[in-house]
Amino acid sequence: MLIIQHNLFIWSGSSEKIISKKFGELVLMEYIWSFLEREWVDAADKSILDSQTKFDEVSNKVAKALKNTGGFLNELAGNEPIALPHTLWFGILDLAQNLIQRSSLIATYGLCYYLAIESLNRAPSSFIQFKSIELLLHLYNIDNKVFSMIEIDFDQYTQKLSENNLEDSLEKFRNLLTFVKEKYLEDLKILSNNTGKGKEGKGKNLNQNSYLKKEQISNSNILDVIADEITCPISSEPTDQLCILKCQHMLALSNLKKLKQKICPNCREKIEDNDIRYLPQNSIYKNLYTKFLNLDIFYLQLN
């Protein structure tokens, strides 16, 4: 996974411009989605309690081991190797967080936002909850206008927990949310102290209620941007199978096959078969498809 990311960044960063940065990010996002999709299926198979118990067990073990630091290594060696469940899931969310840092594409932010939301909703343990919250706070820190709805998302999540009578989980999640927010603020402080400039302005109100805009902010904007990225200019529909042409324009594979003249419908550059790059977006498309449909309904209502 990391190797794929590394290669893509080198690839897209090279002066030859074999693939554009945007293309690289879209490919990477598709990978991330397809990996997490598998994790979600796995998680759905097991009960929430199962994973949470396992998680508590492991974290207790770590806490115990940390208390008597003297025998720390012995303790670790004596026990079975510590295997936190869902480390891959956690790692992928971390990768997404990393990607946000380097990216300037709103579509990438948006895809990471939905990644975090879906992960939070399916989170089998506080381990994943923690990372999802962190990712959302991170997005908020990058653009607090676009991602001003995260507080509503947290509210909705807690509401969901209380509706399902998961009092324990609810209490745990509230504590976790406070904890992660505080931790994130600390991290920001350290960052801004180190660089001596910049970021403190953006995130400073994070733990005050002043930034909690209670008005219903529609997240259709982000969806719109994502949909745009995977929309074929011929059919004007989001699609799961795109092709990138040499001129960096793209169109749906199915429409490429239908072209009578092999020229780019956008800039009329001749299409050479060797220069077509296939860009699958199956996982992203599959997971966001219903949201795109709602988007259409949303716009129908507007008009």
Hey, which bits of 148-290 come out as E strands? 241-244, 250-252, 277-280
Nearest CB to Zn ion, comparing residues 172 and 249 = 249
Instruction: Give the CA-trace dihedral at 149, 150, 156, 159, to 10 degrees.
Output: -130
Return left, alpha or beta for 67; rule: phi > 0 is left, psi -120 to 50 is alpha, else beta: alpha
**Of residues 156 and 266, the one with the C-beta less far from Zn ion:** 266
Q: Looking at beta carbons only, is 176 or 247 nearer to Zn ion? A: 247
Burial 62-94 (b: 16+ CB within 10 A, else e): eeebeeeeeeeeebeeeeeeeeebbeebbebbe
**Residue 267 binding Zn ion, by CB under 5 A:** yes
- Decide: is 247 part of the binding site for Zn ion (CB under 5 A): yes
**Which span (76-84, 163-171, 214-222, 268-276) binds Zn ion, by CB under 5 A?**
268-276
Site membership for Zn ion, residue 264 (CB under 5 A): yes
Stretch that binds Zn ion, among 31-39, 160-168, 210-218, 241-249 (CB under 5 A): 241-249
Provide, rounded to whole angstroms, the least separation between the CB of residue 268 and Zn ion: 7
- Among 21, 183, 249, 277, the residue binding Zn ion under the rule CB under 5 A is 249
Number of residues that bind Zn ion (CB under 5 A): 6
**Least separation, in Å, of the C-beta of 231 and Zn ion?**
15
Q: Which residues, other chains included, contact 103 with Cβ-Cβ below 8 Å and sequence gap of 6+?
A: 25, 109
Which of 266, 276, 291, 292 forms a contact with Zn ion (CB under 5 A)?
266
CA-based torsion, 66, 70, 73, 79: positive or negative: negative
Provide the binding-site residues for Zn ion, judged by CB under 5 A. 247, 249, 264, 266-267, 269
